[in-house]
Chain A
């Protein structure tokens, strides 16, 4: 068991550098699971030998030595030894796969033509590796093919086996040296499709030769359209576009049928067995959008183009042979699969022929982010702008049936923008154009996420473009829509704040000064957004009767607003309007009140810091907070202290929209002791705590004499209940105020 543990420890899956771009689709998941590392596989194998009873291993060996010495033309029916050994091989293969040394013997036996085809077939079908297949055994098998001792059915079966287990072969150098032999087999009509597939897996740039291209074209002329020939031609073209002067059809089909061979079930079993111990690493790539088979008029189909290399079609204009020797050739985007590949090839990577394809390819998005080339963005923007304009399901009359497709497209855009941490300007224009026509339902979550990524840009007129159409929808839609809009606008504010932090940080100080006008423009943009949210929040609270859910989203927004100065270094602080502040203060819900306390505490911290900075440094005087802000804060604090502590909110609140009420009016309410009836004990959001506190302090007392509550103990109790916001607020604001008064 100690061994087992050690094995597990060393067996953490490694992600191999994927320098080979071709692999068997069926096996790729398995291979990525970490089984390709030959060293590890051998280890596995050895420990397996140690672990398992020797008897099983023993039983394969007689079978192997039997097949090594097998004579010509033995009938299966009459030879019990052959029957027994064949059955042994089959059962071991299916249970745990065959060890590497078995392949040489069994392949020789199966391809030498000594045995009947039924035996050969059964042998080939059981050639399932437990770890790797030695290259030498495959090479000798190819030599058996060349002397054609075996029937064509066996030849084909061998090729199918080779294709299926290609990724298990431990080395491939000698196999590559046999490229010409495989190419020769192309002329065999039966083998041709499988040979094409083998060649497809083997081909390297140096294998692409003009005579081979010609041969493939001849074969095509003879046999007509064959997808396997096309596959090979397209690969040749990919490697050597200057040699393969052909045009392939634009529509790519499946080139090779999936490996439906007899080994599929066995592979699956072994994969499951191996996967138990090795977690599959997360694939790096987002899914690529599948082209749809929607029948519509030409070019009105919403499709993100697939990445394909921008083949400079003028290569033949250039010197013909230069490419064969040049070292600074471009790395084709089709081959770009992993992040390490991106790093290795970043100096000679070329963007795809259609920029739209970068949207589904995070690696290319990374690259685009590094390059910052104007034409790159321009190409993407033109395509994006046109596509959004043409495909918008509520702007274009007959598009409504394609909502799902459009939604997926917007979803892709959202993820790409999120990945880039940057809004794309065609999306902004699209929103401005389409929001006035939007019903607020179609693709709601996508549209609202796009809104969050509108770039901070003082030139755009947000009021008429965004706020007016959004407000109209906001006021007339459901509570949940209102909350979603608030969430989206909070995202917008945060993206703007992040953006200006990054961009102003990177600009030198002198540039900030020269950009003063622009900077104040940006400040105005941010302020305008906050005022807009304040306005719609005020109205929404009225419309939805101060719904707690709505309060939550509004408070969430102001949690960002109250910290802008310290967290984002922005000389801007805006208090919530009274229509938002008072419903929060008088909320029936302690969670909202607690969060309001926290927000007011952060406002205070920011304002104090600003005041200190103003006094110490004299620069950037034009961005100091106005006295209005301090005054407003003080008014709110007075109201809060009155409500939560001193019970004099009705007398002391001086905000014009505040709680101040004449005693005469208060008398009319017939509330006894109205003077003391609004503080941390009696506040509607707190009274529940007060009751619980009393029950704990004086169990059995049912008179609920709240006057017995000792403030300090009660506060300790409240803090222990998790009212952190209340704690920081009282500790920072109330103790001072009460000391001063």
Chain B
């Protein structure tokens, strides 16, 4: 389990929401890989027709990640990897991973229930690598499975939820500091404020705020953030509530409002994905 998720850790993933895929079947992943690699080659070579099945510079692997799901109703996650075959040395083993992206759904029942069987619900797509590849792969999926990709931005409200949720999670190792980045609006030059809190202090604060373990309410999140704000105001006389929360990083994960996420703890990947699935579904519906 941790091996499959190991490659997800400590990478910046750009988030997208994806509408249900039409006529996608996990039984044909190999065929998809072949078609996709020919498509990439055709796009890269600026208009040359490319025969499907011949050896190409870019190798595409489409695989299933059966462990990456929340419930039995979820579809297994699908991983797409692009590797570059080095042309200098003829050895096949020398392949360099240049881009990866994966579709997943963790407890996405809201979307998948009552969905006709021709549709596959994998509402979150995460990409790491050059945007040009994301664009080609995304276009191919859109064209082939009649779906739509859209950047999944994270609102400040959802970022504060993440801050509160992740503060409460237990981490074995000595954790790094919790960091919140705020951006001050309406200034000629951009001004960001970095607010770092010792993880144990943050946890202690959260424990006093949270009433029932395992359950979080909007009110509790508000109280937690207000406490942090008033502490900051006491020292610096700055009202953080008038600024915009743009980034949250904790020992669990870090998230940026532009829709970029970094997983740091393999045991919490599923929890983070559950929240992202929820956000993606609300963007789709």
What is A's interface to B at a CB cutoff of 8 Å? 217, 220, 224-225, 227, 229-230, 233, 245-251, 253, 297-299, 305, 310, 312-314, 316-317, 353-355, 374-375, 378-379, 382-383, 385-387, 389-390
Contacts and interface: CB of A to CB of B under 8 A. Distances in A.
B260 to A, nearest CB: 15
B214 interface: no
A681 to B, nearest CB: 64
Given A299-B138, A386-B284, A375 B42 contact: no
Given A245-B53, A248-B42, A298-B131, A382 B147 contact: yes
Contacts of A382: 19-20, 147-148, 284
A305 B31 CA distance: 24
A367 B144 CA distance: 21
Interface in B114-153: 116, 118-119, 131, 134-135, 138-139, 142-144, 146-150
B35 A247 contact: yes
Interface in B26-85: 28, 31-32, 35, 38-39, 41-43, 45-53
B22 interface: yes
A374 B116 CA distance: 8
B43 A250 contact: yes
Given A250-B139, A298-B138, A379 B47 contact: no
Most chain B CB within 10 A, of A224, A313, A389, is at A313
In order of increasing CB-CB distance, the 7 nearest A-B pairs are A298-B135, A382-B19, A247-B38, A245-B52, A386-B148, A247-B42, A247-B39
Given A299-B150, A375-B22, A246 B47 contact: no
A569 B147 CA distance: 42
8 contacts: A225-B48, A229-B49, A248-B49, A353-B143, A375-B119, A378-B119, A382-B148, A390-B150
A354 B23 CA distance: 12
A462 B19 CA distance: 27
Nearest to A217: B51
Q: Is the interface of B mostly helix, strand, loop or mixed?
A: mixed
A157 B268 CA distance: 71
A253 B47 contact: yes
A375 B116 contact: yes
A35 to B, nearest CB: 37
B135 A317 contact: no
Given A248-B42, A382-B19, A316 B31 contact: yes
Given A305-B143, A354-B143, A389-B150, 6 more contacts: A248-B49, A298-B134, A298-B135, A317-B28, A378-B119, A382-B20
Nearest to A352: B146
Nearest to A351: B146
A247 B284 contact: no
Nearest to A305: B143
B128 to A, nearest CB: 15
A247 B143 CA distance: 13
B148 A387 contact: yes
Contacts of B131: 297-298
A312 B32 CA distance: 11
Contact of B43 (A224, A249, A297, A299): A249
Nearest to B28: A314
B134 to A, nearest CB: 7
Contact of B148 (A225, A316, A374, A383): A383
A249 B135 CA distance: 14
Contacts of A310: 146
B135 A299 contact: yes
Contacts of A316: 31
A305 B22 CA distance: 16
Of the four ranges (under 10, 10 to 19, 20 to 34, 35 or more), the interface on chain B belongs to 35 or more
Nearest to A387: B148
Given A247-B39, A298-B134, A299-B149, A375 B118 contact: yes
A245 B51 contact: yes
Given A225-B46, A382-B20, A383-B19, A250 B143 contact: yes
B131 to A, nearest CB: 6
Given A298-B135, A299-B138, A382-B20, A220 B48 contact: yes
B148 A317 contact: no
A314 B25 CA distance: 10
B145 to A, nearest CB: 9
B121 to A, nearest CB: 11
Contacts of B42: 246-250
Contacts of B51: 217, 245-246
Nearest to B140: A250
Most chain A CB within 10 A, of B41, B142, B148, B150, is at B148
A229 B47 CA distance: 11
Contact of B19 (A305, A317, A375, A386): A386
Contacts of B139: 250, 298-299
B45 to A, nearest CB: 8
Contact of B31 (A313, A379, A385): A313
A390 B59 CA distance: 33
Contacts of B31: 313-314, 316-317
Contacts of A312: 23
A218 to B, nearest CB: 11
Given A247-B39, A317-B28, A354 B116 contact: no
Contacts of A229: 49
A224 B52 CA distance: 18
Contacts of A251: 47
Contacts of B47: 225, 227, 230, 249, 251, 253
Given A354-B142, A354-B143, A386-B284, A247 B52 contact: yes
A353 B150 contact: no
B280 to A, nearest CB: 12
Nearest to A382: B19
A313 B144 contact: yes
Contact of A313 (B32, B119, B142): B32
Contact of A249 (B19, B20, B22, B46): B46
Nearest to A383: B148
A222 B106 CA distance: 50
Nearest to A356: B146
A297 B146 CA distance: 20
A385 B284 CA distance: 8
B146 A355 contact: yes
A224 B283 CA distance: 44
A245 B54 CA distance: 10
Nearest to B44: A249
Contacts of A250: 39, 42-43, 139, 143
Contacts of B52: 245-247
Most chain A CB within 10 A, of B19, B39, B135, B283, is at B19
A194 to B, nearest CB: 20
Contacts of A230: 47, 49
A578 to B, nearest CB: 44
Contacts of B28: 313-314, 317
B15 to A, nearest CB: 14
A491 B43 CA distance: 47
Nearest to A381: B19
Contact of B49 (A247, A298, A354): A247
A297 B285 CA distance: 23
A652 B42 CA distance: 86
B56 to A, nearest CB: 10
A217 B49 contact: yes
Given A247-B49, A378-B119, A383 B138 contact: no
A648 B149 CA distance: 71
